Amino acid sequence: MPEGAIADQASASYDDGVLEIVMPAPGLRRGRRIDVVSAHGATGPRRDVH
């Protein structure tokens, strides 16, 4: 977990093969884009991570 993350307020959802975990982190306001590769090497649609 990132430094300063508020784990008590974490939530997670799983939809169509995508696991999304949301957790507030005070003071951090940056987003980034990551690619997730399956075990077979295929990539799915890009998603923004905040």
Residue-wise pLDDT tens digits, 19-34: 998 887 776 566 777 7
Tell which wins on pLDDT, 37 or 10: 10
The total number of structural domains that make up the chain: 1
**Mean pLDDT on 1-25:** 85
Confirm whether 27 is domain-assigned: yes
Q: Alpha-carbon distance 37 to 26, whole Å?
A: 29
Per-residue pLDDT at 34: 79
Neighbours of 25 (CB within 10 A): 13
Instruction: Provide the domain limits for residue 21.
Output: 7-49
Q: If you search the block for the tokens 């997730």, which residue do you land on?
A: 36
Q: How far, in Å, CA of 9 to CA of 40, rounded?
A: 34
- Has residue 31 been placed in a domain? yes
Q: What's the whole-number mean pLDDT along residues 42-46? A: 59
In the block, tokens 């649609």 appear at 45
